[in-house]
Every structure is written in C-alpha cells, then in structure tokens.
Structure 1
C-alpha cells in the first residue's frame, strides 16, 4: 500500500473510531466542541499497523535510537513503532515516561529500559497521540533531557493546532505531525 493510500485509509479509521463532536475539556484545561480519542484507533489492528507504518516512514531518516513519550498515549505508539522498526531491520528502542514515578518497586520515571540501558547521549523522538498546547509532551521532553537524551523532535499523530508549534519552538525542538485537526473538521 502506498503512503498516500495508507494515509487516506488511516484518516478514515481515525474519523470513524477516534473523532467526534461534543463539548469536552482537554488535558490543557481548554474547552472544545470536538475531540480526538486515539485509543480506539491505536487498539484496532489495522489502525495500529497504519499508525506504526506511517510514523516509521515519517521518522526513518531521523537517525533515532529511541522513541517514547508520556503515558498513556505514547505507550502503544512507541511499542508498535519499536516492533515495526525491528521487522524493517532498523531497530528503534521504546520507552515511556510516567506522569509520576511509581511509589514502589524501582520508582522509575522512565520505563522500558534495562538497568544497563540509558537515554544519555541517545537521539530520541517524543511521540504523542494528540497534541493541543504541547504541555503533556513537554513533561516527557523534560524527563528525557534530564536523563541526558538528545531530543531530535516531537512527533504527534494529530496536531490540534492550538499552540504546540509555539511551545516546541520555545523549547528548541522541531515539531511535526501526521495530521492536523483541520483535516477532520467539517468544512
């Protein structure tokens, strides 16, 4: 399947499974009359495969060591991308950042790495399912920078176009998206 065909099909899946109208409060605290909940798309076999394939294609030339982001939205994306990158012979490891470290066990903020692995000096991409202002992704960005990683970029599946570009520009990090919210809104 060509990237154009895959992108069109994924758009249909997101529209049918993950997009809707109705007043909601976003993670940023803002009110909106439309929403994206990408979990049904990320948990759909075809949706998950297309998200991984299109994300891999968008990132394959960025020379990445790891992909990850803030729980919960980044977890299925990072795992699917790690698996696909392995299958394509260009492995990219995965991790995720907890919203707050566990209060038991190893008490880690960054999960998915062994005791001998570190993000220090590694090129990583922060992935996110839906981005509004960028505040959630900045939490992951700060955590991996604190761990010594080089953040190559932030990549989201859907950019709501509500300030994230400015947030990441201020943080000195490139920002790209698979889709813009406007691609789903009625004309």
Structure 2
C-alpha cells in the first residue's frame, strides 16, 4: 500500500493514533491506541471511511449491523453511502421497553454483515455472534476499519466468521 500525506490511512493516523500505555478490551497492553471516536466524530473523515468500506460489504447484504458503540456510527454512515438499512447490536439487551439487544432494521431472515471499528482480539464480535446464533441468526461476515493484527481475525475464523478490514495496523503505521 502506497500512502501519501493526505491518504485515508494517514488521515486516520493523524486523527486517532495516540501513544502511551493502554489496556485493550482483550486485556492486552499496547503502547499504541486508536481513539476511534476521533475518526467517527469527524463527519468528513467518517464519510471517506464509509465510502471506502462500502466495497467490503459482501454481495447480497441486506442489513448493516453495527456493534455498540463504535460500530454504530460506521454502520449509520455506511447506510447513508449504500442505501442499505442499519441495525444496532447492543452489548446487553435493554432492561426496559422492547428489551432487545438488536435495534433498528430486523435481522430475521436477512443477509447481514457485522460492522466494527477496531478489532484486536475479536471479543466484541465473538460476544455478539454468540447472541445472534442463539437466536438463529447468522451473519454473512464482519468488516472493520482497522484490524490491529493481534489475533482477532484468527479467533473469529475459529467461530466460522470471516473478517475483512479496510486497513491493518501496519497500513496505518506506515501512513
């Protein structure tokens, strides 16, 4: 991948990459963190990301299912770019109202893809996959903005879920 100062990976790096000591969701410690809320809260950068991510959506997808919390703005913008409806997957079902963990467009009987921001161990996707499968729902795959290349893709493959990333950690670091 050839990156320029104004390439999308470089823009993501400038916006979201921070250095320090960080404990990731997986429990791993890293000296690099991608503050995804920085690129998700920038409307022009998020639009550019969604426009590029649209090519990763599997053919025949009917619904984009964003994981709480970082996958939701990406799924929403992808919905705008593609015209596909969006669903939002909570970490836990609501304790009031509908008491659902999946909101928005129905996933029942639909071909859907899971949307995530940054994947490290794949834990959030695995947790969501277990809930969905318990309800007889099977995603066509998962896509994310950044694969940190720390075992998430491989862990998800053991559960039969493919992961496609717009960029890898290395792509962003080289930008």
When normalised by structure 1's length, the TM-score is 0.85
Task: Name the structure 1 match of 2:33.
Answer: 35
Report if aligned partners of 2:66, 2:74 keep a CA contact under 8 Å in 1: no
Task: Name the structure 2 match of 1:104.
Answer: 96
1:70 to 54, 67, 72: 67
Task: Name the structure 2 match of 1:167.
Answer: 155
Cα 1:9–1:186 change in 2 (3 A) is closer
What secondary structure is seen at the aligned counterpart in 1 of 2:140? strand
Say what the alpha-carbon RMSD is for the aligned residues: 2.1
1 CA distance for matches of 2:76 and 2:51? 12
Query: Does residue 132 in structure 1 map to residue 132 in structure 2?
Result: no
Gaps of 5+ in 1: 87-91
Report if aligned partners of 1:64, 1:124 keep a CA contact under 8 Å in 2: yes
How much does 1:186 deviate?
6.2
How much does 1:130 deviate?
0.3
Report if aligned partners of 1:18, 1:40 keep a CA contact under 8 Å in 2: yes
Cα 1:179–1:186 change in 2 (3 A) is closer
Mean Cα deviation higher: 104-113 or 8-17: 8-17
Query: Does residue 153 in structure 1 map to residue 141 in structure 2?
Result: yes
Report if aligned partners of 1:124, 1:151 keep a CA contact under 8 Å in 2: yes
Aligned length: 173
What secondary structure is seen at the aligned counterpart in 1 of 2:94? coil
Q: How does 1:51-66 map to 2 (within 5 A)?
A: 51-59=49-57, 61-66=58-63
How much does 1:148 deviate?
3.0
